A and B are shown apart, each in its own frame.
Chain A
């Protein structure tokens, strides 16, 4: 587990939130404390607009229930982290947001999930159109076996947005902090890049089409510590323009980069959801505290 290497030099207690590279001096609250946190029922009333709202969402794989009555709202232009032990349904929830679960024949979704006020499981929603607004980055870097340029241009080409293609590709690579490294090898195969570069390429590919939300499924779990810290820095920058939802196994990572944290526990239930700092410093539920302090999970 490479992500554990990251934790070695970080303190594992709740002050980990203050040790990140954020401009805030440690000790200062990372997020606006005036936000009223309402956990478990998830209807966090923050001043910001809620882009994604799950209402009593159940997901089944065949007869197995993977998510139980999830209700939560994800605020705009913030990083929302989802943590929890393996098999707790956090990736399933992430994949519900852009309907990637549609690709699994056995998966069945009940309840509502609203994106910008529209239930994405309505019959008149085309998942293809939805995914053009909600991009995704996967656990293992999965660039296409094409050139770096073609990888970034892929989304633009499939959406027929081929004007100023060079410019858009360059912008996306710059925003993904990859441009300086690949500037003069755009026609080289993306598979020749290192794992960390590949993952940043995948991020560039996802943001090239300018989505509203970026979903990240353990984006750094297959990477070494240095590549991981680059990805983390990148995520924080991206949150200025995009809503980022990230699933991670690494609690320190969640504490470092996220504004909001949702804790899923075994059985597919959302146990606690609120500001990252309060989750890590003062969790309401004993189970969450046990999980965060490493007593189980």
Chain B
């Protein structure tokens, strides 16, 4: 209880405690972090500068857009950050949703142009729905017939989508039967519902098919969402009606705008519908309404800026990365070169990778986590397998390229450099990563859920199906998407399996020889003309990075969405 300053010597200002080494260590760590970040940032800025060449624009052009777009948006952003955070969130979503919607539209547009006609899409969707309907109907009618359900599960898609096996398989069966001395053959293959639809003599026009198979289901989904949220069937019907009317308006307005009715309908379904639903919610809740100003001012700013630039005659930057680059094939002249076929090739390769690695990877992860023994000699073997999956994740990609070359081209004899070979080779490369991340996700499901389920008398299958997988799915998806991000940038396997150095036409099927973005970028890097090596290459890199960024953002959005719940 002494009130005077006591005479003690423990407080350390005689430097009996030495902080010097700690501070030095902290400073070193900071320097390492800063060095890494700054050098990557500089590199990206350098590449972006090469790709966009902003300094090639007139000073007036830059000033105009800085004044009409950048300045107001920056001011708004500061305002949201300081004073109105909900509005900031609204601004973020209303700016991001249209971008995602436009990207989706672009994806579907490319699909309809390059991969399958609208009729084929219609046939595929209808038969998939029919297959799903058959499976669900069987589940309802005979809920206890588990084995039967398995047959239906695999049989329904065969009947509706695939048809009986193709001719080669039938010959195999016939030959085999003949070798065994049996006269048996599947001389006529049974065609599937999908093929029946494709052969219909009269089919509705394309716009009706598009409306029915893409716009209408999305409109109904949006309508159901709104009807639930507002507890009003009328509101739901209003959404469906407005979407359909908006889409039909495209028959007139689409061609007038030069994007065709298809483009308009896709935009209505992927951009107008979600944005409309979101904005309606914001306005009704009256929370963060000011955030809606952000996209409006962005659009207005661009419009005003372009008017001013036109009137004053300022020239814009001579950017390498422009609409032409994204929509045209590579060329001998740098100015005409584009990345479109390689982009389509990359997207198709990703489809192959997803179809090949997701089921295999997730299946392996489920087995290793839920079924494999953890004790005894078998447990040790499983541990060995798991360690080696980790090792496989570290094997150089060029080795996987070699494996793909040997396996799919030399042995299976698929065409060299085709999309399916590229997809499978790169798929093998990311398979360990998918397995490991799916294992992590499954392991993170609390054991108490499994205990609860087993305690209820659930079988292992029921527990996995109803409790573990639904809980682990967001984590599995996140990990898989991040792995796909790695896959899309892999170059060495593509070189090994002989992906095309440059193609002028986008691939039409999965067995076509194609180029992919990293392969295309690599071949630009060895062009003689400097414009290729500096400009076109940089534009390609930025495109690739943008695709990667979108994929990683998707992964993050999925993760955050489910973490919040």
Return chain A residues, CB-CB under 8 Å to B455. 98, 100, 131, 135-136, 138, 206
B456 touches A129 (CB 8 A): no
Of B182-190, B324-332, B372-380, B412-420, the stretch lying at the interface with chain A is B372-380
A144–B144 Cα gap in the complex (Å)?
Answer: 24
Whether A162 sits at the interface, judged by CB under 8 Å, is yes
A267-290 interface code vs B (CB 8 A; 1 in, 0 out): 000000000000000000000000
Tell me the nearest residue of chain B to A62, going by C-beta: B375
Of A33-41, A66-74, A153-161, A169-177, the stretch lying at the interface with chain B is A153-161
A138–B376 Cα gap in the complex (Å)?
Answer: 29
B436-468 interface code vs A (CB 8 A; 1 in, 0 out): 000000000010111111111111001000110
A145–B470 Cα gap in the complex (Å)?
Answer: 9
Number of residues on chain B facing chain A (CB within 8 A): 26
Tell me the nearest residue of chain B to A130, going by C-beta: B457
Return chain A residues, CB-CB under 8 Å to B449. 142, 144-145
B565 touches A189 (CB 8 A): yes
Whether B143 sits at the interface, judged by CB under 8 Å, is yes
Whether B175 sits at the interface, judged by CB under 8 Å, is no
Q: Nearest-CB distance from A240 to chain B (Å)?
A: 22
Q: Nearest-CB distance from B462 to chain A (Å)?
A: 5
B362-389 interface code vs A (CB 8 A; 1 in, 0 out): 0000000000011110010000000000
A209 touches B456 (CB 8 A): yes
Question: B454 contacts which of A100, A129, A133, A159 (Cβ < 8 Å)?
Answer: A100
Number of residues on chain A facing chain B (CB within 8 A): 31
Return chain A residues, CB-CB under 8 Å to B448. 138, 140, 142
Whether A79 sits at the interface, judged by CB under 8 Å, is no
| Given A105-B379, A106-B375; A142-B456 close (CB under 8 Å) | no
Whether A132 sits at the interface, judged by CB under 8 Å, is yes
A189–B470 Cα gap in the complex (Å)?
Answer: 14
Q: Nearest-CB distance from B14 to chain A (Å)?
A: 45
Q: Nearest-CB distance from A191 to chain B (Å)?
A: 9
Whether A205 sits at the interface, judged by CB under 8 Å, is yes
Q: Nearest-CB distance from B492 to chain A (Å)?
A: 41
A157-197 interface code vs B (CB 8 A; 1 in, 0 out): 11110100000000000000000000000000100000000
A129–B454 Cα gap in the complex (Å)?
Answer: 11
B233-244 interface code vs A (CB 8 A; 1 in, 0 out): 000000000000
Tell me the nearest residue of chain A to B460, going by C-beta: A128
Question: A142 contacts which of B374, B451, B471, B565 (Cβ < 8 Å)?
Answer: B451
Question: A135 contacts which of B143, B456, B470, B565 (Cβ < 8 Å)?
Answer: B456
Residue in A98, A133, A142 whose Cβ sees the most chain B Cβ within 10 Å: A142
Return chain B residues, CB-CB under 8 Å to A103. 450-451, 454
Whether A202 sits at the interface, judged by CB under 8 Å, is yes
A138 touches B144 (CB 8 A): no
B471 touches A145 (CB 8 A): yes
Tell me the nearest residue of chain B to A98, going by C-beta: B455
Return chain A residues, CB-CB under 8 Å to B450. 103
| Given A98-B455, A142-B449; A105-B374 close (CB under 8 Å) | yes
Return chain B residues, CB-CB under 8 Å to A129. 457
A209–B452 Cα gap in the complex (Å)?
Answer: 14
Question: A160 contacts which of B144, B470, B471 (Cβ < 8 Å)?
Answer: B144
A209–B144 Cα gap in the complex (Å)?
Answer: 17
| Given A144-B467, A145-B471, A158-B462; A209-B454 close (CB under 8 Å) | no
A156–B110 Cα gap in the complex (Å)?
Answer: 47
A144–B459 Cα gap in the complex (Å)?
Answer: 16
Return chain B residues, CB-CB under 8 Å to A130. 457
Return chain A residues, CB-CB under 8 Å to B454. 100, 103, 131
A115–B143 Cα gap in the complex (Å)?
Answer: 30
Return chain B residues, CB-CB under 8 Å to A133. 457
Return chain B residues, CB-CB under 8 Å to A205. 452, 456
Tell me the nearest residue of chain B to A104, going by C-beta: B375
A98–B452 Cα gap in the complex (Å)?
Answer: 12
Return chain A residues, CB-CB under 8 Å to B459. 128, 158
Q: Nearest-CB distance from A119 to chain B (Å)?
A: 19
A178–B35 Cα gap in the complex (Å)?
Answer: 59
Q: Nearest-CB distance from A193 to chain B (Å)?
A: 15
Residue in B457, B459, B565 whose Cβ sees the most chain A Cβ within 10 Å: B457
A142–B462 Cα gap in the complex (Å)?
Answer: 17
Q: Nearest-CB distance from A28 to chain B (Å)?
A: 36
Return chain A residues, CB-CB under 8 Å to B452. 138, 142-144, 202, 205
Q: Nearest-CB distance from B500 to chain A (Å)?
A: 48
Tell me the nearest residue of chain A to B471, going by C-beta: A145
Tell me the nearest residue of chain B to A191, going by C-beta: B565
| Given A140-B448, A142-B451; A154-B471 close (CB under 8 Å) | no
A105–B379 Cα gap in the complex (Å)?
Answer: 10
A105–B467 Cα gap in the complex (Å)?
Answer: 21
| Given A105-B373, A105-B379, A160-B143; A155-B451 close (CB under 8 Å) | no
B375 touches A105 (CB 8 A): yes
| Given A131-B456, A155-B457, A209-B456; A100-B451 close (CB under 8 Å) | yes
A105–B373 Cα gap in the complex (Å)?
Answer: 8
A132 touches B451 (CB 8 A): no
Tell me the nearest residue of chain B to A107, going by C-beta: B375
Q: Nearest-CB distance from B81 to chain A (Å)?
A: 31
A130–B376 Cα gap in the complex (Å)?
Answer: 26
Tell me the nearest residue of chain A to B445, going by C-beta: A145
Tell me the nearest residue of chain A to B465, going by C-beta: A158
| Given A144-B449, A144-B452; A158-B457 close (CB under 8 Å) | yes
Return chain A residues, CB-CB under 8 Å to B143. 160, 162
Q: Tell me which residues from 116 to 144 in chain B have a Cβ below 8 Å from any Cβ of chain A.
A: 143-144
B565 touches A158 (CB 8 A): no
Return chain B residues, CB-CB under 8 Å to A138. 448, 451-452, 455
Q: Nearest-CB distance from B208 to chain A (Å)?
A: 37
A144–B450 Cα gap in the complex (Å)?
Answer: 9
B304-348 interface code vs A (CB 8 A; 1 in, 0 out): 000000000000000000000000000000000000000000000
Return chain B residues, CB-CB under 8 Å to A136. 455-456
Q: Tell me which residues from 99 to 155 in chain A have a Cβ below 8 Å from any Cβ of chain B.
A: 100, 103, 105-106, 128-133, 135-136, 138, 140, 142-145, 154-155
Q: Nearest-CB distance from B564 to chain A (Å)?
A: 12
Question: A128 contacts which of B373, B374, B457, B467 (Cβ < 8 Å)?
Answer: B457
Tell me the nearest residue of chain A to B146, going by C-beta: A160
Return chain B residues, CB-CB under 8 Å to A145. 449, 470-471, 565
A145–B469 Cα gap in the complex (Å)?
Answer: 12
Q: Tell me which residues from 477 to 532 in chain B have a Cβ below 8 Å from any Cβ of chain A.
A: none
Q: Nearest-CB distance from B565 to chain A (Å)?
A: 7
A130–B454 Cα gap in the complex (Å)?
Answer: 11
| Given A105-B375, A105-B379, A154-B466; A159-B451 close (CB under 8 Å) | no
A157–B456 Cα gap in the complex (Å)?
Answer: 11
Q: Which residues of B pack against A, CB within 8 Å?
A: 143-144, 373-376, 379, 446, 448-459, 462, 466-467, 470-471, 565
Would you list the 6 A-B pairs with minimal beta carbon distance, nearest first?
A132-B457, A136-B455, A105-B375, A142-B448, A131-B457, A155-B456
Q: Which residues of A pack against B, CB within 8 Å?
A: 98, 100, 103, 105-106, 128-133, 135-136, 138, 140, 142-145, 154-155, 157-160, 162, 189, 202, 205-206, 209
Apart from A142-B449, A158-B453, A158-B456, 18 more pairs, CB < 8 Å = A98-B455, A100-B454, A105-B373, A105-B376, A105-B379, A128-B459, A131-B455, A132-B457, A135-B456, A138-B455, A140-B448, A142-B446, A142-B452, A144-B449, A154-B466, A158-B466, A162-B143, A202-B452
A-B contacts, 21 listed (Cβ < 8 Å): A100-B455, A103-B454, A106-B375, A128-B458, A128-B459, A129-B457, A131-B457, A132-B456, A132-B457, A140-B448, A142-B449, A142-B452, A145-B449, A145-B471, A154-B453, A158-B453, A158-B456, A158-B459, A158-B466, A159-B457, A189-B565
